[in-house]
Structures are given as C-alpha cells and as structure tokens.
Amino acid sequence: MIGFDRETSMLAAAKEQGLNLTTSNFSFRSDNILAHIQAIRAGIGIGVGHKGMAANWPEVEPVLEEFVLPSLELWIVCHSDVHHNQRIRHTMDFLCQQLQSP
C-alpha cells in the first residue's frame, strides 16, 4: 500500500472504516501526493487516487471499488493580492461551480 509518512488523515479515515492501519502497513510512504501518484503509476502498490485522473492512465486500474472513502474538504485559495483580479475571480468561480457535489 502507498500512504502518508507523517500526515495522519489517511490513518484516521481508515480507522473510521474499521481498519487498524499504521504507517508500517505502507510499503511506500511520502507526504507528497505527487509522489503517491507516480508510485501508483509505477506499480509500486495500491493507493488512493482520483478516478477522473486515473482514467487517463492505462497502466492504472481500479481496485477495492467497494471500499467507501469518506468525503474530503476541498479548498480553493489564492493570494490576497490577486483575489479581486477579474481573471482569477472568474477562474475561481468556475472551479467552485464545477467542483460542487452533485
């Protein structure tokens, strides 16, 4: 399994699902999500990823689809200096609209 090293949110989510995982259960650990993605794509192990992104990678296949993951918060932020820039504002509004739960 691919998981986080010091970040504990994945372990807490697993515990809520009745799984008693520790970092020793992960054969690959990193607190960098980009490293997780590359490890998954390289076949190092199974990990959590976004289905929409994974659909673009033929080397990645879904496993444990019956496992229900908890909802995660998503924050869209920008620097206060550009917050009122019209292009930034339109982009942020578009992302907020597109990323809302159905």
What is the pTM (predicted TM-score) of this model? 0.68
Domain assignments of the chain as residue spans, ordered by start = 2-54, 73-102
Region 57-63: mean pLDDT is 92
Q: Which residue has the higher pLDDT, 71 or 50?
A: 50
What would the DSSP string read from start to end of the chain? -EE-SS--HHHHHHHHTT----GGG-SEE-S-HHHHHHHHHTTS------HHHHTT-TT-----TTPPPPP--------TTTTT-HHHHHHHHHHHHHTS--
Q: Which residue has the higher pLDDT, 101 or 10?
A: 10
Residue 58 has pLDDT above 70, yes or no: yes
Residue 85 has pLDDT above 80, yes or no: yes
